[in-house]
Structure 1
Amino acid sequence: MTSEVISISPGEREDKLVWQFTTNGIYTVKSRYHLSKELECDLEGETSVKAKEKQAWKTIWKLRVTAATKMFLWRACNEALPLLANMRRREVVEHSSCLVCKQEPETPGHVLWGCIAAKDVWGQGVMKVQKLSFQSDLIFDIWSRLIEILSSEELDEVAVTMRGIWSRRNNVIHGKEFKHPTPVHQHAKAELVSYREALTEDLEVKLTAPDAAVNSKEERIGIGVLIRDHHGLVIGGLRANRTLKGIPFDAEANGLLLAAAYKKIFDEESKLGDITGSGLGTTDEEVGVGTQNDIVTQSRLLGNEEYFRSCYLVNCP
């Protein structure tokens, strides 16, 4: 039965003892020392340490910031940013000095937190952050300290600011202007406010159609007129495309004038029993409204007519 559970070597080899905590299987005092330390950590609270690490990772995904900011912070905490210190370890570059201060190796903790240029940005942000003095080359260590001190809203601002500092660093690499700390901080705050407004449940976004279709380049406008009966049903319509140089207000005025003239023609044709020319395909040339210069004059003439005193015109954007 034992031979079915443990395979026995076909050769006539003697059994031997193997120490599983070394790569070669040979027992050493050093390996026993490290093993005892690990066991002590298990007894003294390694679970609480791991719990804190898990909490640090969870706070990243619970931030009220954009997905791009969360992913950036996750990469920074995992030491996955393309920094010179990381690339030098891989023998990609020869020098790893910070591109901004030229004083220390370009590590994640230095670029986003400890560099003089980064401190100038942090000096304009959260007051609690300004008073912090701890340093580390690892962003994860810094983030773990911050979550113990700052509120959730303050952590949101820190995350967005870190990404802004990183973007400024990349601009230097690509030969762009090195931004002053003030616009970097202001842009981070504006991005945070914009994102929070987008998440507001009570925010109502309504699509507002343009008041008038104006083609400024070709100096033309588009006008649409509908005539409804007392039930609200459409009984007539007009499409108009004409030359007009002006602002949308001029186009609206022209449209109201066109609607008034068209209503009169429509009613006259209806009384005669001939409404074939007043369908949805009618054009403004058939109505005969003048150009922009004639709008005021024609409006006064139409307003003096007894017919239009009983009409109700509405501009529907």
Structure 2
Amino acid sequence: MRRIVVQDDVCEICKEASKMTGHVLWSCSKAKEAWECSKVNVCAARIGGVSFQGVMWQLLMVEGVDDEKAARVVTIAWTLWHNRNEMWNEGVRKSGQVLVQWAMEYLAEYGVAMELNEPAGPVVEHPVVWTPPRSGCFKINVDGATFSKQKDAGIGVLIRDDKGRVEAVLSRKIEAPLREILVCKMLFWRGIR
């Protein structure tokens, strides 16, 4: 509603609450169905907050869950959000059981891919080229990408504090003629501004 994409913020599934992130991920009947199927004990009400960051903080820092459980929680939350977006674009509403099965298959595929990518020999450490800003300041890194086949372009922004912690991340599709973007990119990389 803030971005004037929708006129009504009532959850289209349960029709009981505003479809804020916390509702979509934890308290909507659709979310509760998925969490019950998952056998992962995530209860936003028990944790005392409904933000994704709050729940993850509780699980990781207070309860000390292992990486495997944290990965399951993140992936199930992602499938819930993804399915919500699919429904918004006239896709099919999937059951909680199907979403959890999809999340677990996705995690298994990821695990196999990571095992295949493990280096055979010793890992060579490269020197760090990023230097932090002076104390109390932030550093902003910006990059762009062009996708010729899709005739599209995008930009990414990363903001870090003086300790190297990520403070904000943004990526956006750029609405501009691809030819002009490619020319600007070419001139930039050649050092002509």
Q: TM-score range by the shorter chain?
A: 0.5 to 0.7
Amino acid paired to 1:190: E
Candidates 67, 77, 95, aligned match of 2:8: 95
- Percent identity between matched residues is 25
Candidates 93, 107, 110, aligned match of 1:195: 110
Question: Whose strand proportion is higher, 1 or 2?
Answer: 2
Map 1:42-61; keep pairs closer than 5 Å. none
Which residue of structure 2 aligns with residue 159 of structure 1? 74
Alignment partners' CA distance in 1, 2:43 and 2:52: 17
Q: Are 2:35 and 2:41, in contact at CA under 8 Å, matched by a contact in 1?
A: no
Q: Are 1:161 and 1:188, in contact at CA under 8 Å, matched by a contact in 2?
A: yes
Structure 1 residues 262-283: Cα deviation after superposition (integer angstroms, max 9, x where no partner): xxxxxxxxxxxxxxxxxxxxxx
Amino acid paired to 1:185: V
Amino acid paired to 2:105: A
Map 1:272-283; keep pairs closer than 5 Å. none
Which residue of structure 2 aligns with residue 109 of structure 1? 22
Coordinate RMSD, CA, aligned: 2.6
Q: Are 2:44 and 2:55, in contact at CA under 8 Å, matched by a contact in 1?
A: no
Shift of 1:190: 0.5
Which residue of structure 2 aligns with residue 63 of structure 1? none
Change (3 A) 1:102 1:144: same
**TM superposition score normalised by structure 2:** 0.53
Which residue of structure 2 aligns with residue 144 of structure 1? 57
Change (3 A) 1:124 1:135: farther
Change (3 A) 1:194 1:91: closer
Alignment partners' CA distance in 1, 2:47 and 2:117: 41
Alignment partners' CA distance in 1, 2:106 and 2:78: 11
Shift of 1:93: 3.7
Where structure 1 has 5 or more consecutive residues not aligned to the other structure, the ranges are 1-87, 204-317
Shift of 1:127: 3.8
Which portions of structure 1, spanning 4 or more consecutive aligned residues, are displaced by more than 4 angstroms? none
Shift of 1:105: 0.8
Candidates 173, 177, 181, aligned match of 2:92: 177
Alignment partners' CA distance in 2, 1:128 and 1:92: 33
Instruction: Tell which deviates more after alignment, 94-103 or 124-133.
Output: 124-133
Question: Whose helix proportion is higher, 1 or 2?
Answer: 1
Alignment partners' CA distance in 1, 2:39 and 2:45: 11
Change (3 A) 1:131 1:105: closer
Aligned length: 117
**TM superposition score normalised by structure 1:** 0.34
Shift of 1:137: 4.1
Change (3 A) 1:111 1:131: closer
Map 1:1-317; keep pairs closer than 5 Å. 88-90=1-3, 93-129=6-42, 133-134=46-47, 136-147=49-60, 148-149=62-63, 150-200=65-115
Amino acid paired to 1:138: S
Alignment partners' CA distance in 2, 1:183 and 1:111: 17
Q: Are 2:34 and 2:97, in contact at CA under 8 Å, matched by a contact in 1?
A: yes
- Which has the larger Rg? 1
Q: Are 1:121 and 1:181, in contact at CA under 8 Å, matched by a contact in 2?
A: yes
Structure 1 residues 147-179: Cα deviation after superposition (integer angstroms, max 9, x where no partner): 132211100011111110011111211112111
